[in-house]
Amino acid sequence: MNQDSISPITEKDISTLNSLVNSAYRGESSKKSWTTEANLIDGVRTSEESLQLMYRNPDALILKYEEAGRLLGCVYVETKGNDLYLGMLTVSPDAQTNSIGKQLLLAAEKIAIEKECRAVIMTVITQRLELIAWYKRRGYQPTGETEPFPDDPRFGILKQPLEFMVMEKILPYSQT
């Protein structure tokens, strides 16, 4: 793993990060990516304002993956009780076969271990079967819980009813 390429974002990264996340999940550019949500949701995935809020959250961290000065990926992690919530795992559509997503996921899990978390938890849109399978191959399992997708245009305009599946990876040393 090339940990030198992974570091926390700074405030000056937010505009570039906003472009990266939206290009990977929504719109025409995302359609060349297997992570696209464009067939499920219109609109933007995030905004600079919401990224600013995430960046300023004292319980959270956004990691970035850079190569040759180019921002190619990111992941959001937030401590929630004894768990580490993982979200917004993003890789540029042009760099999705380079194991960047796996490296960011491992970096997030390392943070969870350092914080002595019970598990890493996340939510995945239930219709994203290929993404659910990808996480399962990395040890994440559905908890049986679901959460509603926000009915809020700040998160996109739904093309069909959606909900989230809650997934988790229990960390090997945790005392559950």
User: Tell me, what's the pLDDT at 31?
Assistant: 60
In this predicted structure, what is the pLDDT of residue 61?
97
**Whether pTM exceeds 0.85:** yes
Residues 11 and 98: their CA atoms lie apart, in Å, by 26
**Quick one: pLDDT at residue 1?**
41
Query: What was the pLDDT predicted at 30?
Result: 59
Give me the tens of pLDDT residue by residue for the chain, a chain 176 residues long: 444 599 999 999 999 999 999 888 776 665 666 667 767 877 778 889 999 999 999 999 999 999 988 999 999 999 999 999 999 999 988 887 789 999 999 999 999 999 999 999 999 999 999 999 999 999 999 999 999 998 888 788 888 899 999 999 999 865 54
DSSP the chain: --GGGEEE--GGGHHHHHHHHHHHHSHHHHTTSTT--TTTEES-S--HHHHHHHHH-TTEEEEEEEETTEEEEEEEEEEETTEEEEEEEEE-GGGTTSSHHHHHHHHHHHHHHHTT-SEEEEEEETT-HHHHHHHHTTT-EEEEEEEEPP--GGG-EESS--EEEEEEEE-TT---
pLDDT score of 175: 54
Domains annotated on the chain, with CATH: 3-170 (3.40.630.30)
Asked if residues 54 and 11 have their Cβ atoms less than 8 Å apart, the reply is: no
